[in-house]
Amino acid sequence: MHGQGVVKGYAIGKAAVMSAAALEVAHYRIAPDDAGAECDRLKNAIIIARDELQHMAATLPDDAPRELGPLLTVHSLLLDDPMLFQQTCELINERLYNAEWALTSQGQFLAEQFSLMEDEYLRERAADIRQVIERVLRVLSGSTALLSNLDVDAFNDPFIVVARDISPADMLRLRGGRFGGFLTDLGGPTSHTAIVARSMNVPAVVGLGHFRALIRDGDTLIVDGFSGAVLVNPSEQVLAEYRQRQADYAAERAELALLRDAPAMTLDGIAIKLEANIELPEEAIAAVEAGADGIGLFRSEFLFMGRADLPTEEEQYQAYASVVKTMGGRPVTIRTLDLGSDKTLDGDVTVATNPALGLRAIRYCLANPEIFATQLRALLRASLHGHVRILIPMISHMHEVHATRQAIESACRDLDERGVPYGRDYSLGAMVEIPAIAIAIEPFVESLDFLSIGTNDLIQYTLAIDRGDTDVADLYDPMHPAVLRLLAHTINAGERAGKPVAVCGEMAGDARVTKMLLGLGLTEFSMHPQQLLDVKKEVRQAHTNALRVKVASALNRAERIDLAALS
Ligand code: PEP
Ligand code: MG
């Protein structure tokens, strides 16, 4: 069977099939006189389920994945919503459904409403609705067992949980068990199963369709978290092959883990900075754990998305300051709001003719000075706690740099007037993601403190390929000589002026192109924390000066670079 692999790794073990109350509850009609009592039964079950979730959130063990607390709170809030009880009770009164039937119908209705939403984050909330309803159904049925009574000690291999979906609360209960993998019928890469499994580092495949119904407790399963394949009751030969893969992968990870504290230094003694990209403040912990030299890109727009209102100055300050404090003196690059194009505010229905070329990022911020000023004040306040590097996205003109500086000066004046303390030791840089500035980079290098190349957008604009359009995805080519020449030109300009230049697009975290980037002269890479050690390994095996000669000669001839020839 094939699903979507969301946590890499291999798992081999026996299936432990999780109960799915929503699929198993009885549906029957009640007598009109019993409707009141049925509503009470429902109300009690909702209260019990909510109290359980609140209790779990309040008494989380220290070693529980840190994502669980907020997720449990969201689930208890969903149960707190009086609409859930009222509308389900209406179904009981009007249609004389039993409580379980009414609740399943209401749950399906709500989940469908969410799955129709355009915003991916809100669509995924359909899963939260299903999960809290599953919990109430379990209370109604009086059965709290998640898994049938498998003898956990009877097997050498850990169990593989097979479920319709796994809620955060289920994850908490399963934690500590000998589970080697998670398989679910529902869910995508941002589902809770994926998030929590990732933080537990347990291979997981989601979106398997009707897999759960086909599997029996004790079936032997192989989970391939790379390809998303799941093999059921495989032959001895296949098992042996996967055991070998599992052992090789474990050895590779163990070898990489040793690199955490090793310097990112090339064979010819050039020190390379490896930083982390994050989207939420909590992810800074993963950056520290991976040994990152700093945060090279905090995509601040994620604080603004998936909500109806805008985050206040105080809320933003807390978020930025928490990252700065977590990084303990290492630099933190916070990108100002990059909205428009593929990322929009909730309820923003403006449809630009071509949003990727429209009012996005710095253009949006300069057109919405209040939103921009609030963010700048929060950034300046956060820079009191460490070194903040303010990064402006999508710069195409020098006057945008001047306007940003004026906006920062005005934010400083506002804070002075209010008597609010802030740090003055910040630096100001720009994303290089529009070909125009990569070509005419000199004035930008001169007037800014640093540059960061956003290859994701730079490639899209250079090759006129929409980065989100699957029909042209095969033409999205990071190795196109034109793209590489723009990178080289920007890096060289930075080098001449003594200003740092980083790459923070996906290319920076792709260990297959690390040597090529070193050959272009790059000394700062920013990537997802999980990619950092793979890249460090490449760095430590590279000889920059030899690579520079090879890469420069290919670029002069505008030839494609042969990656194999660089290793
Ligand atoms: C980029 O464009 O390369 C980049 C890092 O920014 P984003 O992916 O957020 O557009
Ligand atoms: Mg970008």
Task: Determine the distance separating the centroid of ligand 2 and the alpha carbon of 433, expressed in angstroms.
Answer: 6
What amino acid is encoded at 525 in this protein? Answer: F
Ligand nearest to the CA of 505: 1
Tell me the CA–centroid distance for residue 98 and ligand 2, in Å: 52
The set of residues, in sequence order, having a beta carbon less than 8 Å from that of 28 and lying 6+ positions away, is 98, 101
Residue 174: the pLDDT is 74
Atom of ligand 1 nearest to the CA of 454: 3
Number of other CB atoms surrounding residue 253 within 10 Å: 13
Q: Which atom of ligand 1 is nearest to the CA of 505?
A: 3
Residue to substitute in 364, 431, 453 for testing ligand 1 pocket (most ligand atoms within 8 angstroms of CB)? 431
How far are the Cα atoms of 70, 103, 112, 232 from residue 98, in angstroms, in the given order? 32, 9, 21, 38
CA distance 520 to 522: 6
Ligand 1 centroid to 24 CA: how many Å?
Answer: 45
Please tell me the predicted confidence (pLDDT) of residue 525: 98
Which H or E run includes 193?
helix 192-200
SS3 (DSSP) at 514:
helix
* 456 touches 506 (CB < 8 A): yes
Catalytic residue among 39, 89, 365, 504: 504
The residue ranges of the chain whose pLDDT is under 70 are 21-23, 144-156, 175-177, 189-190, 199, 341-344, 346-352
pLDDT of amino acid 144: 64
User: Catalytic residue at 504?
Assistant: yes
- Asked whether 181 and 11 are in contact (CB, 8 A), the reply is yes
User: Which of 342, 456, 527 is the pocket-test mutation for ligand 1 (most atoms within 8 Å of CB)?
Assistant: 456
Kindly give the number of the ligand 1 atom that is closest to the alpha carbon of 393: 6
> Which protein residue has the closest C-alpha to ligand 1 atom 8?
456
Specify the residue with its C-alpha closest to ligand 1, atom 4: 454
pLDDT of residue 545: 95
Q: Which of the listed residues 300, 339, 465, 504 should we mutate to test ligand 1's pocket, taking the one with most ligand atoms within 8 A of CB?
A: 504
Predicted local distance difference test score (pLDDT) of residue 68: 80
Pick the atom of ligand 1 nearest to 504's CA. Answer: 5
Cα dist. 7→115, 117, 177, 201, 277 in Å?
24, 26, 18, 7, 18
Which atom of ligand 1 is the closest one to the Cα of 457? 2
For residue 342, how far is its CA from the centre of ligand 1 (angstroms)? 11
- Which residue type does 195 have? I
Neighbours of ion ligand 2 (CB under 5 A): 433, 454, 457
Confidence (pLDDT) at 134: 86
Ligand nearest to the CA of 506: 1
Please give the C-alpha separations between residue 319 and each of 265, 281, 504, in angstroms, as whole numbers: 32, 6, 21
Task: Check residue 19 and report its DSSP letter.
Answer: P
C-alpha to C-alpha distance for 333 and 524, rounded to whole angstroms: 13
**64/371 Cα distance (integer angstroms):** 36
Residue 342 has a pLDDT of 60
pLDDT digits (tens, 9 = 90+) for 92-115: 999 999 999 899 888 888 888 888
Q: Is-above-0.75 flag for pTM?
A: no
Interhelix angle 236-257/532-540, nearest 10 degrees:
70
Ligand 1 center–CA 454 separation, angstroms: 5
Residue type, 361: A
Which candidate in 192, 365, 385, 489 is catalytic? Answer: 192
- Give residue 393 CA to ligand 2 midpoint distance, Å: 7
Atom number in ligand 1 closest to CA 455: 3
SS3 string, 197-266, reads: HHHHCCCEEECCCCHHHHCCCCCEEEEECCCCEEEECCCHHHHHHHHHHHHHHHHHHHHHHCCCCCCCEC
Which of 280, 338, 341 is the best mutation target for the ligand 1 pocket, counting ligand atoms within 8 Å of the beta carbon and taking the most? 338
Q: How far is CA 48 from CA 68, 125, 284, in A?
A: 19, 22, 35
Residues with CB under 6 A from ligand 1: 297, 299, 338, 433, 454-457, 504-505
Instruction: Please provide the DSSP assignment of 395-452 as one string.
Output: --SHHHHHHHHHHHHHHHHHHHHHT----S--EEEEEE-SHHHHHT-HHHHHHSSEEE
pLDDT digit string (tens) for 481-537?
A: 999 999 999 999 999 999 999 999 999 999 999 999 999 999 999 998 988 999 999
Whole-number pLDDT of residue 285: 92
Verify whether residue 192 is a known catalytic residue. Answer: yes
d(CA 123, CA 116): 7
Fill in the amino acid letter for 181: G
